[in-house]
Amino acid sequence: MGLIGKIRSVGRVAEPAPEGPAQPLPAAAALGGSAQVRHVDAGSCNGCEIEIGQAFSPVYDAERHGARLVASPRHADVLTVTGPVTVNMAGPLRKTYEAMPEPRLVVAVGDCARDCGMFAGGYGVLGPVSDVVPVDAQVPGCPPEPAAIVAALRGVTGR
């Protein structure tokens, strides 16, 4: 059996987790160590999406800290947003935020989400994420490392 042999030879690929979150967000207490995450790409180049995918991969494994990606904003506590908010994505982003039940948090991932990055002033760009929905945490970087994204999510789950 190829797969059984593979499972045995690979073993555990998750890297040892660094020490606990530096400063848990004040809102993290209401979530009680679990955060369902919904992701919205508001106009990014997909670089940040690849890094978010890596943050939930076996190596960085954000799930061990209580974060889990979900399929619906109704199920979510945390909204991760990437990219400068484009004119066309401002409405869907606002609707996604409004579809989330309280308490809800927004994490802006990447330089573009914080200050439009290299796309600032583009004709299709409306502005940074904080112009459209209130932002609770930011992850700098272009693109941010998966470890930085995991650290931001740990600040939300408090674990």
Partner 1 sequence: MIPWLLAAGQAVLVMLVAPLLIGLMRAVRARLEGRAGGRVLQPWRELRKQLRKEPLIPADAGAFFTAAPAVLVATSVLVAAVAPFLSTRGPLSGVADLVVVVGLLLLGAVALALAGLDTGTAFGGMGASREMIIAALVEPTLLLAVFALSTRVGSTDLGAIVAAGATRPAEVFTPASALAAAALALATLAEAGRLPVDNPATHLELTMVHEAMVLEYAGRDLALVEWAAAMRLTILLGLLANLFIPWGVATDPHPGALAVAAGVFVVKLAALGCLVAAGEVFLAKLRLFRVPELLAGSFVLGLLAVVASSVLA
Residues engaged in binding partner 1 (CB under 8 A): 3, 7, 10-14, 17, 30-34, 36, 58, 61, 63-64, 66, 68-72, 74-75, 77, 99-103
Q: 51 or 77: whose CB is closer to partner 1?
A: 77
Residues 6+ apart with CB under 8 A from 150: 55, 60, 62, 65, 67
Question: Measured from the CB of residue 136, what is the shortest distance to partner 1 in angstroms?
Answer: 16
- CB nearer to partner 1: pick between 77 and 136: 77
Pick between residue 10 and residue 123 the one whose CB is nearest to partner 1.
10
Give least dist CB 61 to partner 1, A: 5
Residue 72 CB, nearest approach to partner 1 (Å)? 4
Query: Is the Cβ–Cβ distance between 33 and 66 less than 8 Å?
Result: yes
CA 28 to chain centre: 15
Q: What is the DSSP letter of 32?
A: T
Q: In terms of DSSP bridges, do strands 125-127 and 85-86 run parallel, antiparallel, or are they unpaired?
A: antiparallel
Give me 37's structure tokens: 């995450």
Q: How far is the CB of 42 from partner 1 (least distance, A)?
A: 18
Which pair of structure tokens corresponds to residue 115?
């200050």
Q: Which is nearer to partner 1, 74 or 131 (CB)?
A: 74
